[in-house]
């Protein structure tokens, strides 16, 4: 568990900091002569990719942590069944 979680935590912190910095810059560029035409900026593309990576990393962390906690949850459910 620690072998999986420990290296992911600094990555999550880095990604959160980078996402915060990317939120401050424009993600869409509007064409000056034709305002209906819009393009995504490089920052917008980076934000999208980093958000996907961040979500996947958080999912991995939650799966690992949930699996180790599920044993404790199973024990709790067994004890609760005694009271039924």
Per-residue confidence (pLDDT) for residue 38, from 0 to 100:
94
For residues 61, 75, 77, 83, the Cα torsion angle rounded to the nearest 10 degrees is -160
What average pLDDT does the chain have? 84
Provide the pLDDT confidence category of residue 84 given band limits of 50, 70 and 90.
Answer: low
Cα angle: 29, vertex 34, 40; to 5 degrees = 20
More confident position, 47 or 77: 47
Exposure of 56 in the CB half-sphere (CA atoms within 13 A): 6
- Summarize pLDDT for 44-69 with one digit per residue, the tens: 999 999 999 999 998 888 888 777 55
Q: Quick check: 36 pLDDT over 70?
A: yes
Distance CA 55, CA 77 (A): 30
Per-residue confidence (pLDDT) for residue 71, from 0 to 100:
58
Cβ contacts of 22 within 8 Å, gap of 6 or more: 43, 46, 47, 50
């Amino acid at each position: 568990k620690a072998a999986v979680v420990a290296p992911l935590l600094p990555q999550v912190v880095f990604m959160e900091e980078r996402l915060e910095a990317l939120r401050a810059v424009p993600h869409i560029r509007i064409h000056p002569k034709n305002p209906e035409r819009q393009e995504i900026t490089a920052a917008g593309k980076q934000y999208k990719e980093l958000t996907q990576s961040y979500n996947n990393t958080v999912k991995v962390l939650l799966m690992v942590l949930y699996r180790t906690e599920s044993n404790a949850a199973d024990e709790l459910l067994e004890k609760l069944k005694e009271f039924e």
